[in-house]
Structure 1
Amino acid sequence: MKIAFWLYFFMFIAFFDLHAQYPILTPFALSLGAAPTFIGWMMGIYSITHLPGNLLAGRGVDKHGSRRYLIFSLISAGIILLLQAHVTAPWQLLMLRSLSGFVLAFLAPACLALLASLSQDPIKQGKLMAGHGVMHTLASVVSPAAGAFLVAQAGFATTFQSLGWLLIGTGIIAIFLIKGNQGSTPAVSGHLTKGYDEVQTTGFRVIPLRFYLLPLAVACSQGILFFELPLQAGGISGILNTGLYFSLLSLGALVTLCMLFLHRYSPYARATTGVLGMALAFYSMVANWNIPLAVSLVFLGMAKGVLFPAMASLFIELSGGKRLGTVFSLQSIAMSLGAFLGPVLAGQIRHTLSPYFLAFLLLMLLLVTVPPMRKRSKAERTAGQTPPAVV
């Protein structure tokens, strides 16, 4: 599908820019004189400002389609990166990161809703979500090392300017390639179809709030990793090592994302397996198992490659495939809260308790909190309905 190809391209560029900053933001903040506790808040505020954006994006994507939100998010985030190149104090970086969190909050609900609308077949939707994961992972394989290398060669300012212009250029291209109000209608037609509201409402199922603990806990553990790993690698002096570590994480995810046969299995079973794998990987980082950090990161990435497409498919199935803008907006809100809590908690406890052990505890608690789903009957599958979870 042509729209899927271009959407994957836009997501690749957006994710490339995002992940290129992971190994350099902490060293950049340190170079401005920021303390580790402040860095935790800086990373957290980026995620907490996702919340108003997610709330606006959910209803907006369902009502108006994805196009305007996708373009706004890309161009605005690029402008903020251009401003970030001229930061001279930690509080300025904090302000710009908070603005960046708000404008990028529109990107994920818009992209995921548009992708999911390309098909109503659950297996094909799973493959489309896996394609989203592949683009995310391909970008995150090369971008951390590329960002670290660019900083080492040209400095922070040039790096932020380059990433900013890349996002702005991608947003301009999207203006010409995504036509009409494409969004979360059952079939993408280039404009809002007649009876849109009725189609979106019929068959929609309210997802129990406990299922949103899944993206909350997973994002929290990721936030812990993104905070702790650059400090563990040596801060400013370890930028290149940090970039390589994040690339190893993404290489592991790429391995399992390419296993397309996994999408024939239950999304709940895949999500549970992924959470357990992530928990064990975090535990291996603090246990006396003599496992190299690089190996643990590859295994952690493989678990993420199983989990993230499964999580998207799980929410599509739970909702009945309707009002996907709202569904993915709520998922993004849960992830934003988790990504806020992760680095903040890690910054507060890292001198008394390993942040990696905290991530392990959160993920193991998640496994006993989110209940399994009852298997659908033949009549329910035929009607396209999703049964309630077993409490």
Structure 2
Amino acid sequence: MKTAIWLYLFMFVAFFDLHAQYPILSPFAISLGAAPSFIGLILGVYSITHLPGNLIAGYGVDKYGSKRFIVFSLIVAGIVLLVQSRVTDPWQLLYIRSISGFVLAFLSPACLSMLAKIAKDKVQQSKLMAGNGFVHTMASVLSPAAGAYLVAKLGFAQSFTLLGWILIVTGVLAIFGVKEKQYTESAAALFPHAHGAPSAPEDNNMSEQDEVNRGIPWLFFGIPLALSCSQGILFFELPLMKEASGSILTSGILFSLVSLGALVTLSMLFINRISAFLRTSMGSLALALIFFGMSVNWPIPLHVSLFLIGMAKGVIYPSIASLLASISSAKRYGRIFSFLSISYSIGAFIGPIVAGHLRSHTSPFFMAFFCLMLALSLLPLKTFKTVQA
């Protein structure tokens, strides 16, 4: 479990640094003279450059292991932040953010793959994934306020410098804290193949893409894509709602309610004993119904609705990771979790764009409902058979 604690530390520091920049990037870009439209590009380019990084990370982690990618991602991301503290032009900030998105894309697949490998059974896998969700949520709750506080006390340049050094030091600690070889060997014995995957010798002519797809239908990745898209729509629309009153502080409180709801269900460890597929599908359905209720102005207050959205997220995110780990062989964890990260990145990029273009015609929350229901309706029945096998 020492390795799991180290991995949680790395993920917390990375997400803390990332989320700490959310409230300060836009003001920083404005201070450099960036136009509002260009600020949107600066914020969105992170998700775009995440895609090639995720793809490379998936195959790299399976071939070379997680440790070197964890160390590389943390240290280089820290160096990028040090450079970011010295930028003087919006275009320079755009380039730096694109590099940061590419570099940090390696961290999540590497850590998730490692977490899946250190588990002794599938129940422990679910608990470890829930722990990852808990760490992510805690970072998202604490870091925005911390980032704003740092800028108020130190200014933009020194804040980015401090965050950069924190990443670099954490990356150096990863060199000594991660012990990977023993877990890779035990995982290969415990989780040799996906549920439902044939145990006969593999066809040498089978492509790696076909090998990955044997246990997981590609349409399954529509669930994380729709989930991320719906969250992107929520994050776009929430500050514009009349309940936010145009106040950054009020918007921050509303976002915190989502995180607090997620913490509630992430703390319910007994949920991990329920089928990961059932948690994923039922949690997504519940989330879709909440968005539908918000789109028709149901009588439940916004604060309660946001808390319920957070509770649904606390169920869905760990269960998706647990499901993918349980129906994949250990040697393909890197690729599987890289495809998961790619789905999240695409959804996060599409969601705000769709909401921005269509909100004058229909409720953005109905679009979130539609995305989730479409993904659920396209979910292949083969997935049910795979998990139950």
TM-score w.r.t. length of structure 1: 0.83
- Structure 1 CA distance, aligned partners of 2:50 and 2:330? 24
Please tell me whether the aligned partners of residues 62 and 331 of structure 2 are also in contact (alpha carbons under 8 angstroms).
no
The residue number in structure 1 matching 2:269 is 260
Deviation at 1:289, TM superposition (A): 2.9
Amino acid at match of 2:252: G
Alignment partner of 1:86: what SS? coil
Alignment partner of 2:216: what SS? coil
Alignment partner of 2:86: what SS? coil
Alignment partner of 1:49: what SS? helix
Please tell me whether the aligned partners of residues 233 and 241 of structure 1 are also in contact (alpha carbons under 8 angstroms).
no
Could you report, residue by residue, the CA deviation over 1:46-91 in whole angstroms, capped at 9, with x for unpaired residues? 1121121112111111111111100111112122222333344433
The residue number in structure 2 matching 1:42 is 42
Deviation at 1:153, TM superposition (A): 4.3
Give the 3 Å change call, closer, same or farther, for CA 11–260 of structure 1 in structure 2.
Answer: same
The residue number in structure 2 matching 1:146 is 146
Task: Indicate the RMSD between aligned Cα atoms, in angstroms.
Answer: 3.1
Alignment partner of 1:162: what SS? helix
- Residue 355 (str. 1) matches residue 375 (str. 2): no
Could you report, residue by residue, the CA deviation over 1:116-166 in whole angstroms, capped at 9, with x for unpaired residues? 001241111111111111111122221122223333444433332322222
The residue number in structure 2 matching 1:338 is 347
Amino acid at match of 2:347: G
- Structure 2 CA distance, aligned partners of 1:43 and 1:284? 30
- Residue 11 (str. 1) matches residue 11 (str. 2): yes
- Structure 1 CA distance, aligned partners of 2:177 and 2:316? 31
Amino acid at match of 2:343: A
1:114-125 aligned within 5 A = 114-125=114-125
Moved more, 115-124 or 38-47: 38-47
The residue number in structure 2 matching 1:131 is 131
- Residue 212 (str. 1) matches residue 221 (str. 2): yes
- Structure 2 CA distance, aligned partners of 1:317 and 1:26? 40
- Residue 178 (str. 1) matches residue 173 (str. 2): no
The residue number in structure 1 matching 2:74 is 74
The residue number in structure 1 matching 2:100 is 100
Deviation at 1:15, TM superposition (A): 1.5
Unaligned runs of 5+ in 2: 190-198, 203-210
TM-score w.r.t. length of structure 2: 0.83
Alignment partner of 2:118: what SS? coil
Please tell me whether the aligned partners of residues 75 and 171 of structure 2 are also in contact (alpha carbons under 8 angstroms).
yes
The share of aligned pairs that are identical, in percent, is 58
The residue number in structure 1 matching 2:205 is none
Q: How many aligned residue pairs are there? A: 369
The residue number in structure 2 matching 1:295 is 304
1:379-390 aligned within 5 A = 386=387
Could you report, residue by residue, the CA deviation over 1:301-344 in whole angstroms, capped at 9, with x for unpaired residues? 11110001110111122324541111111111222221222233
The residue number in structure 2 matching 1:20 is 20
Give the 3 Å change call, closer, same or farther, for CA 121–364 of structure 1 in structure 2.
Answer: same
Moved more, 70-79 or 43-52: 43-52
Amino acid at match of 1:11: M
- Residue 251 (str. 1) matches residue 251 (str. 2): no
Give the 3 Å change call, closer, same or farther, for CA 352–386 of structure 1 in structure 2.
Answer: closer
Amino acid at match of 1:342: G
- Structure 2 CA distance, aligned partners of 1:156 and 1:246? 23
The residue number in structure 2 matching 1:85 is 85
Moved more, 220-229 or 42-51: 220-229
- Residue 323 (str. 1) matches residue 326 (str. 2): no
Task: Find the partner of 2:289 among 268, 280, 287.
Answer: 280
The residue number in structure 2 matching 1:56 is 56
Amino acid at match of 2:9: F
- Structure 2 CA distance, aligned partners of 1:288 and 1:331? 32
Deviation at 1:253, TM superposition (A): 0.5
- Structure 1 CA distance, aligned partners of 2:362 and 2:31? 26
- Structure 2 CA distance, aligned partners of 1:128 and 1:69? 20
Deviation at 1:114, TM superposition (A): 0.4
Give the 3 Å change call, closer, same or farther, for CA 77–293 of structure 1 in structure 2.
Answer: farther
1:300-319 aligned within 5 A = 300-319=309-328
- Structure 1 CA distance, aligned partners of 2:317 and 2:102? 22
Unaligned runs of 5+ in 1: 190-198, 377-384
- Structure 2 CA distance, aligned partners of 1:171 and 1:293? 40
Please tell me whether the aligned partners of residues 188 and 330 of structure 2 are also in contact (alpha carbons under 8 angstroms).
no
Deviation at 1:93, TM superposition (A): 2.6
Give the 3 Å change call, closer, same or farther, for CA 344–34 of structure 1 in structure 2.
Answer: farther
Could you report, residue by residue, the CA deviation over 1:163-192 in whole angstroms, capped at 9, with x for unpaired residues? 222212211211222246577554499xxx
Please tell me whether the aligned partners of residues 26 and 230 of structure 1 are also in contact (alpha carbons under 8 angstroms).
no
- Structure 1 CA distance, aligned partners of 2:43 and 2:186? 36
The residue number in structure 2 matching 1:111 is 111
Deviation at 1:36, TM superposition (A): 5.0
Deviation at 1:291, TM superposition (A): 4.3
Give the 3 Å change call, closer, same or farther, for CA 230–100 of structure 1 in structure 2.
Answer: farther
Moved more, 258-267 or 142-151: 142-151
Alignment partner of 2:354: what SS? helix
